[in-house]
Amino acid sequence: MNESPDITGSGSQRSTATSRSLLERVKSDDTSAWDRLVTLYAPLVYYWCRRWDLQDQDTADVFQEVFLSVATHIAGFRKDRESDTFRGWLRTITRNKVLDHFRRQGREPGGVGGTEAQLRLTDLPAPVPATRPDEAVADDHAERGLFYRGLDFIRGEFEPRTWQAFWKTAVDGRSPKDVGDELGMSSGAVRVAKSRVLHRLREELGDLME
C-alpha cells in the first residue's frame, strides 16, 4: 500500500525535538527551530500579504521585514490571555508591515485601514472576514496548510503503516475499522497510531497550532 504523497513538497525531515516545543526552542536561539518556524509560517505570511493587496514585487521586502520583527520580538511573545495565539501575533505584525508599506506609497491597502491601523504588536488582529465563498475557501486552505507542514516535520519519525493509519483516519476521515481491515491492524491499533502522531504533533508545535 502506498503512503500518502508528500503534500508540502519539502521532503521528510527527522525531528530533533526535545521536551521543549518548537516555540520554546526558537526563543532560546535554536537555529534549526527558527528554520522550522519560517518554513511553517512563510506561506501563510505570503498569503496574508496577497490578501491585503500587496503586489508580488513588494512582497519579498515586506516578508523580510515581518520575520525580522518576529526575530527581534519573539522573546517577548507570551499568552497573557487565553485568546492570545502566535498566529494572531504574527498576523498583526504582518498587517503592520503591510500598512507601513502602503503608507510609504501614500495609500492604504484594500480591506485594511481605519481603526485597524492602530493595532500594535501586542494586540490581536481584528478579523478580516471573507466576503465571497472563494475567499472563505482560500482562507481555510491557507490555515490548513499549517497543519500539513507541521505534519511534514514529524513524518519521518513513524513507520509507514503507523503513518497511513493516522492519515487515513485523521485526514481522510475514514473509520478505524475500515482502515484496520485495509492495513491488517485492529481498530484499537489504528486509534493508537492516530493518537501517537497527534500527540507528537502537539508536543512539537505546542501553542503554535492554536
Q: What is the CATH number of the domain that holds 117?
A: 1.10.1740.10
Point out the domain boundary residue: 99, 128, 157. 128
Q: What is the pLDDT of residue 108?
A: 54
Identify whether residues 112 and 39 lie together within a single domain.
yes
Please write the tens of the pLDDT for every residue from 18-33: 357 888 889 999 999 9
Identify whether residues 123 and 53 lie together within a single domain.
yes
Q: What is the pLDDT of residue 8?
A: 33
Domain assignment of residue 67, yes or no: yes
Mean pLDDT, the chain, whole residue set: 78
Q: What is the pLDDT of residue 128?
A: 47
Identify whether residues 153 and 119 lie together within a single domain.
no
> What is the rounded distance in angstroms from the CA atom of residue 126 to the CA atom of residue 57?
26
Residue 104, pLDDT above cutoff 50: yes
Please write the tens of the pLDDT for every residue from 105-150: 876 555 444 434 333 333 333 444 444 556 566 777 777 888 889 8
Domain assignment of residue 5, yes or no: no
Identify whether residues 119 and 151 lie together within a single domain.
no
Identify whether residues 109 and 167 lie together within a single domain.
no
**Cα–Cα nearest to 63, from 50, 76, 74, 75:** 50
Domain assignment of residue 200, yes or no: yes
pTM: 0.70
- The DSSP annotation for 129-159 comes to ---SHHHHHHHHHHHHHHHHHHHHHHGGGS-
- The DSSP annotation for 74-126 comes to GGG---SSTT--HHHHHHHHHHHHHHHHHHHHTS--TT--GGGGG--TTSPPP
Residue range(s) defining the domain that contains residue 89: 19-128
Identify whether residues 119 and 181 lie together within a single domain.
no
Q: CA-CA distances (angstroms) from residue 112 to 25, 102, 117, 129, 130?
A: 33, 10, 7, 11, 13
Please write the tens of the pLDDT for every residue from 78-92: 877 767 788 889 999
Identify whether residues 44 and 118 lie together within a single domain.
yes
Identify whether residues 122 and 26 lie together within a single domain.
yes
Q: What is the pLDDT of residue 136?
A: 64
Domain assignment of residue 142, yes or no: no
Question: How many structural domains is the chain composed of?
Answer: 2
